């Protein structure tokens, strides 16, 4: 074909036409879609793993850096606060700097910060670099998700979101396990150093294959008031959720101050963004009957997912005495089931209505939580297998259909803002879920122990027989009678505490499942349920 009537470079039907000598060559814009998906998903997984991987290393950090528990908590808190501040701004930042430059720069910033986190010799240095790491990592969720969405043809977008979903779901689950293995086998700085080679590989792939979006338009102005109000609103809220349980929530004047700052800043932020021409966050897109209920459902999913992810390792390690590696072995089959289900949903889910898939996934999640609530102290690893398989399958049914149907009604230039809100709400929901579960666990254990203690009084025949049996056993091992009785009472108290904890965890599992199911009426607001349909 002669090229005389064709411009040297033009966009036609999503493909790029360029002249090579006398022949028009059509570049397929989707040809590197799987490399792009792997690159940005790898970056997103690194970001998500670093949200939770440090938790198992905290005791080692305290010893090395000479920090108290309250001080070392800032290693986690500072990262998450910086992260959630950047997530809703990532669409604007991507347009301002260009998608390829912004993603590559964010990954490299994350890598550099990871290296200096590992090399830190003081608490202040570590916290500072965790903030920088969180700022770099904030781009690696919503921008990555938008990039994948636009890198796949419409009929394959479910596959792209499934690849991303595998990382999003598996990352938080395996973070503590991976951290435990690294800390046990090497030392805590290596939980940060491991990011360096993987991050460099992801940055190279992004810089090589990711293209700037054709629809992106750089803002003429920078919404400084919006950035400040967003920082105050989201930062104060996240800080409140992170510290609330430790400071006894609203009995603390500081928590009250954080709540007031967050609420006032949020109101002013919405007013500011709705009245400015070039907002940092475009709240107007929430008029979409697809997006608004979808992001609220994402918050419920975050509460249920992160809440259950938080309590399960605690249950296994505190009550069953599992190591971090053993906990990972218990959790891994469910994570693989989730990944497999997402792959199936990515391949076939786009042809189906998302609503029945989400309903199915929610009830599978509820059933899995009910099965976990029936597990006792005598349970072995095998008894966790099927409940966690069901949980993984349920989450696989949820993530891809929910994500795709939520943004189905948005024009392509608003997808970045939509995915930013979706990921922000899921992340804040996760923080809220962890805060709720931590608070409920502490209080339920006290309540259940008080109930059980009522039946173990000084004149209860069964309790007296139990103490007598324990005392005789300890005397047989060489203890004197007085010490043996004291130790028998301590053992009985420990057994009561363990049973109280089992009852508390049982209720928390059910709460996680019921919270997710309670969000299902939101799906009635949707206009459409298929990816290809428009709301």
Strand order in the sheet with 23-27: 9-12, 15-20, 23-27
Question: Residues 365, 448: one domain?
Answer: yes
Whole-model pTM above 0.85?
no
User: Residue 205's domain spans which residues?
Assistant: 32-220
Residue 441 lies in a domain: yes
pLDDT of residue 359: 93
- Longest alpha-carbon distance in the chain: 104
d(CA 362, CA 516) in angstroms, rounded, equals 6
Contact 298, 402 (CB under 8 A): yes
pLDDT of residue 219: 65
pLDDT of residue 390: 92
Question: Residues 197, 292: one domain?
Answer: no
Backbone angles phi, psi at 209, to 5 degrees: -115, -25
d(CA 188, CA 63) in angstroms, rounded, equals 11
- Pick the last residue of a domain from 173, 204, 220: 220
d(CA 376, CA 165) in angstroms, rounded, equals 32
Kindly provide the b/e burial profile for residues 167-178, where b requires at least 16 CB atoms within 10 angstroms of the residue's own CB.
bbbbbbbbbbbb
Question: Residues 115, 24: one domain?
Answer: no
Please give the structure tokens belonging to residue 236: 């104060």
Please give the structure tokens belonging to residue 18: 């360029």
- Identify the helix (H) or strand (E) that includes residue 24: strand 23-27
- Pick the last residue of a domain from 205, 220, 235: 220
Please give the structure tokens belonging to residue 229: 């109000």
Angle, alpha carbons 111-113-114 (nearest 5°): 65
| Residue 134 DSSP code | H
- Closest-CA residue to 494 (of 404, 344, 349, 377): 377
Q: How many CB atoms lie within 10 A of CB 425?
A: 21
- Identify the helix (H) or strand (E) that includes residue 15: strand 15-20
Question: Residues 195, 106: one domain?
Answer: yes
Question: Residues 373, 430: one domain?
Answer: yes
Find the length of the chain: 535
Question: Residues 391, 404: one domain?
Answer: yes
| Residue 315 DSSP code | I
- Pick the last residue of a domain from 220, 252, 270: 220
Question: Residues 41, 4: one domain?
Answer: no
For the chain, the distance separating the N- and C-terminal CA atoms, rounded to the nearest angstrom, is 41
Question: Residues 166, 292: one domain?
Answer: no
Query: Residue written as tokens 């609103």?
Result: 233
Question: Residues 52, 189: one domain?
Answer: yes
Domain at 428, CATH number? 1.20.1250.20
Q: Give one DSSP letter per residue of 90-114, joined into a string.
A: HHHHHHHH-HHHHHHHHHHHHHHHH
Residue 228 lies in a domain: no
d(CA 506, CA 151) in angstroms, rounded, equals 43
Kindly provide the b/e burial profile for residues 460-498, where b requires at least 16 CB atoms within 10 angstroms of the residue's own CB.
eeebeebbeebbeebeeeebeeeebbebbeebeeeebbe
Q: Give one DSSP letter per residue of 401-426, joined into a string.
A: HHHHHHTTTS-GGGHHHHHHHHHHHH
d(CA 395, CA 389) in angstroms, rounded, equals 10
Residue 148 lies in a domain: yes
Residue 174 lies in a domain: yes
Question: Residues 80, 3: one domain?
Answer: no
Question: Residues 335, 293: one domain?
Answer: yes
| Residue 527 DSSP code | S
pLDDT digit string (tens) for the chain, length 535 residues: 444 444 444 443 344 455 545 454 445 666 778 888 888 888 888 887 877 777 677 777 877 787 776 677 777 778 888 888 888 888 788 888 888 888 899 999 999 999 999 888 888 888 899 989 988 888 777 777 778 877 778 777 777 777 777 777 676 666 767 777 787 778 888 888 988 998 899 889 888 888 776 666 666 677 788 888 888 888 888 888 877 777 778 888 888 999 999 999 989 988 988 888 778 788 888 888 888 898 899 989 888 887 777 777 777 777 777 776 777 778 778 878 887 888 788 777 667 788 899 999 999 999 999 998 888 777 777 788 899 899 989 988 888 888 888 887 777 777 778 888 888 888 788 778 877 887 888 788 888 777 767 666 555 666 666 666 667 776 777 776 777 766 766 766 666 777 777 888 888 888 889 999 999 999 888 876 655 444 4
Question: Residues 441, 454: one domain?
Answer: yes
Residue 263 lies in a domain: no
Domain count, the chain: 3
d(CA 309, CA 336) in angstroms, rounded, equals 15
């Amino acid at each position: 074909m002669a090229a005389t009537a064709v411009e040297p470079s033009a966009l036609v039907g999503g493909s790029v036409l360029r002249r090579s000598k006398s022949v028009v060559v059509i570049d397929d814009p989707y040809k590197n879609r799987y490399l792009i998906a792997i690159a940005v998903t790898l970056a997103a997984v690194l970001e998500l793993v670093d949200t939770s991987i440090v938790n198992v290393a905290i005791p080692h950090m305290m010893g090395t850096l000479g920090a108290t528990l309250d001080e070392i908590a800032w290693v986690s808190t500072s990262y998450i606060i910086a992260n959630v501040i950047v997530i809703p701004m990532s669409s604007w930042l991507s347009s301002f700097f260009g998608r390829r430059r912004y993603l590559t720069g964010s990954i490299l910033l994350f890598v550099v910060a990871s290296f200096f986190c590992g090399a830190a010799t003081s608490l202040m240095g570590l916290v500072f670099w965790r903030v920088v790491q969180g700022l770099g990592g904030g781009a690696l969720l919503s921008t990555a998700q938008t990039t994948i969405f636009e890198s796949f043809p419409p009929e394959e977008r479910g596959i792209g979101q499934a690849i991303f979903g595998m990382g999003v779901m598996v990352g938080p689950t395996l973070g503590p396990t991976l951290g435990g293995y690294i800390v046990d086998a090497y030392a805590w700085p290596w939980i940060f150093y491991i990011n360096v080679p993987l991050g460099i590989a992801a940055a190279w792939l992004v810089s090589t294959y990711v293209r700037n979006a054709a629809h992106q338009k750089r803002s003429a102005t920078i919404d400084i008031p919006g950035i400040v109000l967003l920082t105050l609103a989201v930062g104060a809220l996240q800080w409140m959720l992170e510290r609330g349980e430790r400071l006894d929530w609203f009995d603390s004047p500081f928590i009250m101050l954080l709540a007031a700052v967050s609420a006032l800043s949020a109101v002013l932020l919405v007013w500011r963004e709705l009245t400015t021409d070039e907002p940092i966050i475009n709240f107007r897109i929430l008029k979409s009957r697809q997006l608004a209920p979808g992001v609220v459902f994402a918050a419920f999913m975050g509460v249920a997912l992160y809440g259950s992810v938080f309590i399960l390792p605690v249950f296994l390690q505190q009550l069953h005495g599992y190591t971090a590696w053993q906990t990972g072995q218990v959790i891994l089959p469910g994570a693989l089931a989730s990944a497999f289900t997402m792959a199936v949903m990515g391949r076939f889910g786009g042809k189906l209505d998302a609503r029945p898939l989400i309903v199915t996934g929610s009830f599978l999640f509820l059933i899995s939580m009910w099965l976990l609530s029936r597990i006792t102290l005598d349970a072995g690893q095998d008894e966790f297998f099927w409940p966690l398989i069901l949980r993984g399958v349920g989450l696989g049914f949820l993530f891809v259909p929910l994500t795709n149907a939520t943004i189905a009604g948005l024009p392509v230039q608003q997808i970045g803002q939509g995915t930013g809100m979706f990921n922000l709400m899921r992340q804040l929901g996760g923080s809220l879920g962890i805060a709720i579960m931590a608070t409920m666990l502490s209080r339920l254990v006290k309540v259940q122990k008080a109930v059980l203690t009522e039946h173990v009084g000084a004149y209860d025949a069964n309790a007296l027989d139990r103490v007598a049996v324990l005392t005789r056993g300890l005397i047989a091992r060489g203890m004197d009678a007085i010490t043996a009785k004291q130790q028998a009472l301590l053992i009985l108290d420990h057994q009561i505490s363990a049973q109280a904890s089992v009852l508390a965890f049982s209720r928390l599992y059910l709460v996680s499942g019921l919270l997710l199911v309670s969000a299902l009426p939101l799906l009635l607001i949707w206009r459409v349920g298929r990816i290809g349909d428009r709301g």
